[in-house]
Amino acid sequence: MKSRNLLLIGPWTLFVVAALGWVLYWNYLANEAERRVHAWQFEQNAGGATVEIGEIVRHGFPVLLRLEMRNVRYVAARGGWRAETARADLNIDPLKPQHAILEAKAPISIARANGATTNIRADALIASVRTNGNALAEAGIEADNLVLDDPAEEGVLHAAKVVATVRPDARSSGDFQFSFDAQTISLPRAVRSFEAFGLDVARLRALIVVTHGALTTQSSPGDPLGPWREGGGRMRFEAIELNWGPLETTGTGEGGLDAQRRLDGRLVLPVDRPAPVLTAISNGPNIDNDARRALSLLAADYVVTGNDITLDIGAHDGVLRIEGLPVRALPPVY
């Protein structure tokens, strides 16, 4: 009889011990997550930024861990921009605590130093960070039906799907791989020099290596990318796929900023049907007359021959050139 009681009591005892252990573990993770949030907040504030979190509420026991953060506001120490939202949720899988997922549960407002504001909203907007010890393993952003709206400007930018990731480049210490994929994009207004391409971009995908990527986290007043540029930072486009109006291509390139903070680089884009592309560019309202005539003649020649080309788009010394023809002057990026 006693042995039978032990057989009954034993499993229940193990269950209770396991349940208590899980409760302790879940609460430990919750405490640790909150501690890290507050430590990050303290670190940012000590560095000159301003981080405000109105309240943190725990959810998800026993399966998940979710910290609901209300009335979040971030003012950057440099660059003069700030972001705020009514709510953001930090999700942590108790079985994979090194992987954190931040989900925006309300629109985000980003104000820049020049007074311009961009409001961001989406059906789903998720950022994730995965670490390996104290080092970044991978970070990413994913959005469904993303909308960017600047109330002071005409139109809104809409994208049905956006996925972006960044990870250290294993081939070179200090470099980062950045991938970007946006589908079914509607532009808020025409792009200068490419007005005839229209406002609808079927797809934009890019794989970029950012050299000296760690320097992008540094900045100086009024020059957010100065340390990166002065440290030799460049972007290497290992692949860029663009399906926009008459242009369907997958190419390569490289680029950065010159001393006046203007774009400086080159894109090489193979084009199977160049005539419609060159015609569309030549029909733009901001094209120099000489460039317009030259592009029109090139387009007519390709209509006759049916040949394909490798379109060379360069930005050097503050001038945008297409196939070596100067198209327009380039202003500083900031």
| pLDDT beyond 90 at 305 | no
CA nearest to 257, candidates 240, 234, 239: 234
Predicted confidence band of residue 109 (pLDDT cuts 50, 70, 90): very high
Query: Quick one: tokens of 30?
Result: 């919750």
How confident is the model over 171-223, as pLDDT tens digits? 888 899 999 999 999 999 998 888 889 999 999 999 999 999 988 877 777 78
The amino acid that residue 91 corresponds to is N
Strand-strand pairing, 235-244 and 319-322: unpaired
Q: Decide if 226 contacts 216 (C-beta within 8 A).
A: no
CA-CA distance, 178 to 213, in Å (whole number)?
Answer: 10
Query: Quick one: tokens of 52?
Result: 């405000």
Q: What pLDDT shows up at residue 197?
A: 92
| pLDDT beyond 60 at 26 | yes
Q: What pLDDT shows up at residue 172?
A: 87
Q: Decide if 57 contacts 70 (C-beta within 8 A).
A: yes
Bridge partners of 103?
89, 126
Residue 223 DSSP one-character state: B
Torsion 239-243-248-254 (CA) sign: negative
Share of the chain above pLDDT 70, in %: 95
Predicted confidence band of residue 11 (pLDDT cuts 50, 70, 90): low
CA-CA distance, 122 to 159, in Å (whole number)?
Answer: 9
CB atoms within 10 A of CB 7: 9
How confident is the model over 44-73, as pLDDT tens digits? 999 888 999 999 999 988 888 999 999 999
Q: What pLDDT shows up at residue 5?
A: 55
Q: What pLDDT shows up at residue 66?
A: 94
Q: What pLDDT shows up at residue 1?
A: 47
Residues 6+ apart with CB under 8 A from 116: 150, 152, 153
Predicted confidence band of residue 31 (pLDDT cuts 50, 70, 90): very high
Q: What pLDDT shows up at residue 47?
A: 85
| pLDDT beyond 80 at 123 | yes
| pLDDT beyond 60 at 149 | yes
Average pLDDT over residues 302-324: 87
Q: What is the mean pLDDT of the chain?
A: 89
The amino acid that residue 270 corresponds to is P
How confident is the model over 159-183, as pLDDT tens digits? 999 999 999 998 888 899 999 999 9
How confident is the model over 222-232, as pLDDT tens digits? 788 889 999 99
Average pLDDT over residues 114-127: 94
Chain position carrying tokens 């945008």: 320
CA-CA distance, 233 to 174, in Å (whole number)?
Answer: 10
**Structure-model confidence comparison of residues 257 and 79, the more confident one:** 257
For the chain, the farthest-separated pair of C-alpha atoms sits apart, in whole angstroms, at 103
CA nearest to 254, candidates 171, 326, 313: 313
Query: Quick one: tokens of 18?
Result: 């396991």
Angle among Cα 314, 245, 278 to the nearest 5 degrees reads 50
Average pLDDT over residues 100-122: 93
How confident is the model over 237-295, as pLDDT tens digits? 999 999 999 999 999 999 999 999 999 999 999 988 888 888 888 888 878 788 888 88
Angle among Cα 92, 95, 96 to the nearest 5 degrees reads 60
Q: What pLDDT shows up at residue 7?
A: 53
